[in-house]
Amino acid sequence: MKSILITGAAGFLGSHLCDRFIREGYRVLGMDNLITGDLKNIEHLFSHPQFTFYRHDVTNFVHVPGPLDYILHFASPASPIDYLKIPIQTLKVGSMGTLRLLGLAKAKSARILVASTSEVYGDPLEHPQTESYWGNVNPIGPRGVYDEAKRFQEAVTMAYHRFHGVETRIARIFNTYGPRMRLNDGRVLPAFIGQVLRGEDLSVFGDGSQTRSFCFVDDLIEGIFKLLMSDYYQPVNLGNPNEISIMDFARELIALTGSNQKIIQKDLPVDDPKQRQPDISLAKKLLAWKPLVKRADGLKITYEYFKSIPEKDWYNKAHNFEKYIKR
């Protein structure tokens, strides 16, 4: 039985990756310090014989017993509300945490895939964004703690590949949505859904002309799996190129949910990207991958998921799984 370590396992993407690799028959070692992750996302796995969870901060020395075939490094705050609140931890997990896991991959002769982001392109001057674009990033702006942490992560990953021969993969992930997102994580989709559920008007920053491209989580997980199993070590964009303005997206969500909220406009945050659209030509060619879930279908699934959660649990994290945690 092959084994895989997934950091950030209690987070949005990490928990879905745990599910996928359990289904594929792997021994899954989940790791998370729970600074933004939630054990409720993986509670259904605690009784599974192939799943083990470690509560651990990967900026400290990382040790797992036995052989290890793969590592997925998904430990990091991933939304502005998080990395603006914990900027130092964000920088540390992208730098020190990545170094720890690359060292572990080298010691275990394991293949490692790191979760990079479309934020490495900053506020892009190229549209759509291709992997060859170097980006337009403000390194000292408030978002720089996340952008530059991920850019360093990519650089050190390539250094370990070139100097130590470590098998590495880099996924540049664009906006992704689906069940298990946090309503209060600050990203536009859960923010809008949270406002709909609370009966509040939808807040659009600026004039709403800025664009995003939303990929449903099931599609992204498939792309990550294919990239991990590929022979390609350079960065690969993973996302949905179906672009929409934030204003149109707000209107679309109001129509979908049948709510009667109004749209109000607020000041645009500093360094907020004006455009986001991945060029996924490389993923199509190398991985035979492209998103399949239509936005209307994915939004309906996501909205129904949040509607199914009792209001008292919208923002409460779980704390009653201590017996399942290893340290």
- Residue 302 structure tokens: 């996501």
Is the pLDDT at 209 greater than 80, yes or no?
Answer: yes
> What are the phi and psi torsion angles at 50 (to 5°)?
-100, 10
* Distance in Å from the first CA to the final CA of the chain: 23
Distance, C-alpha 320 to centroid of its chain: 25
Tell me which of 195 and 289 has the higher pLDDT: 289
Q: Are 107 and 61 in contact (CB under 8 A)?
A: no
Residues with active-site annotation: 146
> Is-cis flag, bond preceding 128, omega within 30?
yes
Task: Check residue 320 and give its pLDDT.
Answer: 54
Strands 325-326 and 51-55: parallel
CA proximity to 172, closest of 203, 186, 190, 151: 151
Strands 51-55 and 27-32: parallel
Tens of pLDDT, residues 67-95: 999 999 999 998 888 888 999 999 999 99
The residue with tokens 């009667």 is 260
Is the pLDDT at 52 greater than 70, yes or no?
Answer: yes
Rounded Cα–Cα distance for residues 172 and 119 (Å): 9
Is the pLDDT at 151 greater than 60, yes or no?
Answer: yes
Tens of pLDDT, residues 217-239: 999 999 999 999 999 999 999 99
Rounded Cα–Cα distance for residues 115 and 229 (Å): 15
Mean pLDDT (whole number) for 206-211: 88
**Mean pLDDT of all residues in the chain?**
92
Rounded Cα–Cα distance for residues 47 and 8 (Å): 19
Is the pLDDT at 170 greater than 90, yes or no?
Answer: yes
- Domains of the chain, residue spans: 3-176+215-241+277-292+312-326
CATH code for residues 3-176+215-241+277-292+312-326? 3.40.50.720
